[in-house]
Amino acid sequence: MNKNAYDVLIVGAGPIGLACGIEAQRANLSYIIIDKGCLVNSLYNYPKHMTFFSTSDRLEIGGVPFISHGPKPVRSEALEYYRRVASSFNLNLRLYEKVNEVSDTGSGFVIATDKNEYSARKIIVASGFYDIPYLMDVEGEDLPKVRHYYDEPHPYVGQKIVVVGAANSAVDAALDCYRAGAEVTMVVRTEALRESVKYWVKPDIENRIKEGSIGAFFNSTINRITEDSVEINTPNGLEVLQNDFVLAMTGYRPDFGFLESLGVNIHNDELRTPEYDQETNETNVAGVYLAGVICGGLKTNKWFIENSRPHAAIIVNHISSLG
């Protein structure tokens, strides 16, 4: 018997990938979870002091209680929780292993990674969307001063920072850096910040902008980035700011290339939604399922941990029903 042959291979060791592994285990299906990064890699790459919008009970998987110290959990608590879940279920994980190629044999799949080769009857893609940032497609975006991920404010102390974006990531970065001693200017392409900004943070950022502590250009976009400046297209014409760093919190997108390599159809519309049966989460490719945020295509705010947790049971129940 091939020790690398499984009933189910799960791509992605985020919370939903782990939930799929738990459901497969409970259904007595052999499974393996593969991720090119660390355990819950996307959460690990969140800002160090981030507070979740959701309460801890809505982030639970596998029936394991998640108790946080405050009303809403922080990143470090979530990382500890998912480590505990993975350990409690002794999940079959292969971390820091990248899937390079998948071949459909007609009766299953052969999966080649950068470390091994596996076969599986079914594949669940739960890979999230945090690995590929939306680019601004402007001159100078490839300069080292431009960052598409934000970790903590310390590197930006005493620096002139431009933060691009209108959602939670941009707001958190702007407030953190401002309070750490950076000179912060926000560039927002719409007329206002997003309504989805965390309700306990929104008044804070709006007041800082109103009083002038944080600069802001609305209905504006980046025109060009140089080593020491940023050119901004504003309603009043071109503005040039002296600048040390650009934090482009412009969002992220799923790996459509991987889905297309599997044969999954991507709708040719502005949301690029993958084709899948909403009753079973099976794609147009028999035996390939989608779980979690990747189901929404470019609408990455449609699916979260709390509302996509049921995908795991839906998928495994369907696989089990097929025998």
pLDDT of residue 111: 97
| Backbone phi and psi for residue 102, each to the nearest 5 degrees, phi listed first | -130, 130
CA dihedral 317, 309, 76, 166 (to 10 degrees): 150
Per DSSP, the chain holds a count of helices (H) and strands (E) of 8, 17
pLDDT of residue 83: 98
Residue 1 clears pLDDT 70, i.e. is over it: no
pLDDT of residue 255: 86
- Confidence band for 148, pLDDT divided at 50, 70 and 90: very high
- Confidence band for 68, pLDDT divided at 50, 70 and 90: very high
pLDDT of residue 299: 83
Domain boundaries, the chain: 5-132+252-321, 135-248
What does the block give as tokens for 187? 């560039």
Task: Tell me the whole-structure pTM to 2 decimals.
Answer: 0.86
- Confidence band for 2, pLDDT divided at 50, 70 and 90: low
Residue 286 clears pLDDT 60, i.e. is over it: yes
User: Does the domain made of 135-248 have the CATH classification 3.50.50.60?
Assistant: yes
Write the pLDDT tens digit of every residue in 292-304. Answer: 999 988 887 788 8
Write the pLDDT tens digit of every residue in 22-54. Answer: 999 999 999 999 999 999 998 998 888 888 888
Question: What fold characterizes domain 5-132+252-321?
Answer: FAD/NAD(P)-binding domain (3.50.50)
Kindly report the number of other CB atoms within 10 A of residue 41's CB atom: 19
